[in-house]
Structure 1
Amino acid sequence: MMDVPSRLLRWAVHATACVLLAIAVVSSLREGRTAVALAGVLLGLAYAAGCLAVVRARGPVWLGLVTAGWLVLAAVAPPFVWLAFPLLFAYLDLLPLWAAMFGVAVVTSAAILAAAWHTGELTMPLVVGPGSGAAVVTLLVLACRALEVEGPD
């Protein structure tokens, strides 16, 4: 049985992903970018399908597909950039720590570059925001893992 902190963290991550995705889709619709909004809905369905049925052996494949979809959407519409944060949790949850840390670095860098692309410049907040977010995500997951290992006395 999964430890309570890990379960709560997973639910919080999924709720965050849903809210961020809804904001991005609605923003795209308001801008008249129906194709982008539809692609966002498809990304959401892929994310949900993976969350419901992902098996550890197939997790990296699902994660690769969702990441590829996110990269495309983050490149074409600024609101999708922030979906990087739930992706970071997925990397840390599904991959061995060494691979997860590499994935976190790549996704964080991609989020920074996409945000800078959309604003037309690389600013300190665009680096510090995603960078500190990635650090917090990583520490939360590692803390939950430590709690699971410790277990009840």
Structure 2
Amino acid sequence: MESYYPDQTDLAILKLLQQEARLTYNEIGRRLHKSKSPIIERIRRLEKLGYIRGYVALLDYELLRDCMMAYVHIRLLDHSGTALKEFQSAVSSYPEVLECCHTTGEDDFILKVVTSSLQSYNAFLRQKLDSLPNIGQVSSSMVLAQAKHSTAVPF
């Protein structure tokens, strides 16, 4: 993969797309005082190089009836490279896991998990997490309300 770091125009495009991914090439060009063609080329390059991994719709969890979120803090027994990769691979395959972060501090991993109910969350813990080898300790924090939800990277 070619070595490339986005310039100021690329960063401006990325910022706009983070705010509203459905902007047209023409609208992005208008806002950045550029024509449509270079905007298309830049966005395609940013996609090809992996700066833009995809486009999604952000949902409001609180408006979804059957939706609850939890942060799951996990400590592993074995911290070898193989054990860490196996854990990450296993939990990343679960659709309930939205994020899997390897962290510093007391916990080794923090998972962001969404299920339809407390009962389905309990089933996730018992049938999926508990079946994994190398789990030392698991603690959960249930989300009561979400004051901010953003995926935009500040730069």
The answer, yes or no, to whether TM exceeds 0.5 is: no
Give TM-score, length-normalised by structure 2: 0.24
Flag the structure with higher strand content: 2
Flag the structure with higher helix content: 1
- Greater radius of gyration (CA): 2
Give TM-score, length-normalised by structure 1: 0.24
